[in-house]
Amino acid sequence: MTIRHNRLRAWVEEIARICEPDRVHWCNGSREEYAEMIGTLQAAGSAIPLNPALRPNCYLFRSDPSDVARVEERTFICSRHRDDAGPTNNWADPEQMRRDMLASYRGCMRGRTLYVIPYSMGPIGSPIANIGVEITDSPYVVVNMHIMTRVGSRVLDQLGEDGEFVRGWHSVGAPLSPGQPDSTWPCNPDLSKKYITHFPETREIWSYGSGYGGNALLGKKCHALRIASVQARDEGWLAEHMLILKVTPPSGRPHYIAAAFPSACGKTNLAMLEPTLPGWKVETIGDDICWMKFGPDGRLHAINPETGFFGVAPGTSMRSNPNAMRTLRRDCIFTNCVLTPDNDVWWEDMTETPPPRGIDWQGKEWTPDCGRKGAHPNARFTAPARLCPVIAPEWEDPAGVPISAILFGGRRGAVVPLVVEARSWSHGVFLGSIMGSEMTAAAFGKVGTLRRDPMAMLPFCGYHIGDYLAHWLRIGTRTSADRLPRLYFVNWFRRSADNRFLWPGFGDNIRVLKWIVERIEGRANATETPIGRLPTPESLDTSGLNLPAEDLHELLRFDVDGWRGDISDIEKFHASFGDRRPAQLREELAMLAREIGAL
């Protein structure tokens, strides 16, 4: 392969001198290359082929028990000035971090191959897309990046001789001595040796020690969110942790909706929703990342920069997400799931009846009554988006799709009603800034604890969270109000006094989307409250639902006492932004407090 980009070639040569790999391979993105990588992984005992009659061209991997999820405590933003990282990020001095990591990188690829992965986040050539290059010594990363991004020669052609690109440097941190057998999951098991480091000003990502998920697939959270959020701030667009879906009512006029939810709050389920209302259709644009730029029409246009789904497997089923299950029938990678006796995969809640036995995610014999989970709670599937049966025809449109509404949501058992429409852009940004959710296995922290998570970006914003919210407010001034998306606050997880879920969720979430579409089109009623506009009971379509009137009342109730109790917590969270707390958010909170008598 001829490399015309001199800076790229020189960078790869420099990394090779430091890491000392046995060989260097430039990835071309071909099917033959993917098959070769899978063959390498099978020979190492890493890739377990699944039953081709059940899941053709699918493979199971088991990670080291020390390497099962994102490691937020070892994730750093190395901005030049500490204040620019903000209170929600781990900051480290960039020069000291470079010195420390270079010491680890020296010789770290001995006995291994250095893979160069040129990739495009977004359709190649799109004005919303962005190019990166990841260097890695993990063939597992290569095959996942093949699925998740556009990899190879066409990307290099687009990059040309001097194009800009995000530089990603990754190693599993496990050099091999001559004759030393390799692990089936090479990594550095010492947590203190793991680093996922971002240098926002120079658009670099350095990752060491982990081979798992967003720690190693640097196009995902590292590039698409942490680095891209800084690029978006500097260039006047939005890089967000959001799904994108297409909703088409019986009238035939589609609307495109983006939605931000923390992990394990139903983002992928909503992106692939199977509507329960006749005549309504939902199609998928993306399930995790949304990049939005203003188009010539003054509206925000969005792309899904990825080409695959890297989803949490446990909880995914024909009930919760039938379209995801249909996507997983072939050409997929599974990580940390149960291997069944017929060489298929299984995870908790996948079926009503579990298999009688299997091999769990740690390679141990497993039965349903053995007292431990068969799949890791953060077990994953990597699936090509093109296989989704409801993928929208325009999902790869280089111009993106025009966004009509943006949803903010989390997992709240009380206080937050089913759906609220913001009164204005700044009010919607305020609602997005206070969203919170119970912690999950995909995030670092105590499971079940409420964590405020503005726009679901707390773990992924590459700069000060106060500046991030100020950027959102500035975006609202860049076009007329009628061209901006409407903003909504949703909560599928409201519970009754006896701890029942009040809303059926899943496919019935189309009823909330219907109300939102009808609000956009001026055809649905709402009630004004201090937190925004709530549906009237008659405006929310509950036809065919066995939903008691008292449950509907509770779902749509403005819980004034609950919001009074939340005010001090919101104030404390906003105050943590320091002097970068946007004045408009201070004013929105003060207005809410006055209206509910919480001052």
CA 71 – CA 192 distance, rounded (Å): 11
Q: Which residue has the higher pLDDT, 306 or 266?
A: 306
Torsion sign (Cα): 151, 155, 161, 162: negative
User: Quick check: 354 pLDDT over 80?
Assistant: yes
Contacts of residue 430, Cβ cutoff 8 Å, sequence gap at least 6: 422, 584, 585, 588, 589
Instruction: Convert 286-303 to b/e letters by CB count within 10 Å (16 or more is b).
Output: bbbbbbbbbbeeebbbbb
CATH of domain 239-307+392-593: 3.90.228.20
CA 34 – CA 516 distance, rounded (Å): 42
pLDDT in tens, 480-494: 999 999 999 999 999
The pLDDT mean for the chain works out to: 96
Torsion sign (Cα): 178, 179, 185, 189: negative
Separation in Å, CA 444 to CA 208, 249, 458: 18, 39, 12
Q: Which pTM was predicted?
A: 0.96
Q: What is the mean pLDDT of residues 508-525?
A: 98
CA 403 – CA 260 distance, rounded (Å): 13
Percentage of the chain with pLDDT > 90?
A: 95
Separation in Å, CA 469 to CA 238, 257, 298, 458, 488: 11, 20, 21, 11, 16
Coil/strand/helix, residue 285: strand
pLDDT in tens, 398-455: 999 999 999 999 999 999 999 999 999 999 999 999 998 866 554 445 555 778 999 9
CA 512 – CA 409 distance, rounded (Å): 13
CA 463 – CA 407 distance, rounded (Å): 23
CA 15 – CA 17 distance, rounded (Å): 5
Coil/strand/helix, residue 322: helix
DSSP 118-170: EEEESSTT-TT-EEEEEEES-HHHHHHHHHHSEESHHHHHHHTTT---EEEEE
pLDDT of 450 reads 75
Instruction: Indicate if 265 belongs to the active site.
Output: yes
pLDDT of 444 reads 46
Q: What is the mean pLDDT of residues 264-273?
A: 90
pLDDT of 252 reads 96
Q: What is the mean pLDDT of residues 56-64?
A: 98
- CATH fold label, 309-387: Phosphoenolpyruvate Carboxykinase; domain 2 (2.170.8)
CA 429 – CA 426 distance, rounded (Å): 5
pLDDT of 427 reads 98
Of the residues 187, 265, 388, 461, only one is catalytic, namely 265
Percentage of the chain with pLDDT > 70?
A: 98
Q: What letter would DSSP give residue 325?
A: H
Q: 87 and 465 in contact (C-beta within 8 Å)?
A: yes
pLDDT in tens, 153-189: 999 999 999 999 999 999 999 999 999 999 999 999 9
Q: Which helix (H) or strand (E) holds 60?
A: strand 59-61
pLDDT of 438 reads 65
User: Quick check: 262 pLDDT over 90?
Assistant: no
The architecture that CATH gives domain 6-46+71-235 is 3-Layer(aba) Sandwich (3.40)
What is the residue whose two structure tokens read 């992984």? 41
Could you tell me the residue ranges of all domains in the chain? 6-46+71-235, 239-307+392-593, 309-387
CA 574 – CA 572 distance, rounded (Å): 6
Instruction: Report the C-alpha dihedral over residues 263, 267, 272, 274, rounded to 10 degrees.
Output: 120
Contacts of residue 451, Cβ cutoff 8 Å, sequence gap at least 6: 262, 436, 437, 438, 439, 443, 445, 458
Q: What is the mean pLDDT of residues 514-540?
A: 97
pLDDT of 451 reads 85
User: Quick check: 599 pLDDT over 70?
Assistant: no
Partnered with residue 113 across adjacent β-strands are: 23
Contacts of residue 387, Cβ cutoff 8 Å, sequence gap at least 6: 327, 329, 330, 331
Pairing, β 195-199 against β 255-260: unpaired
User: Quick check: 82 pLDDT over 50?
Assistant: yes
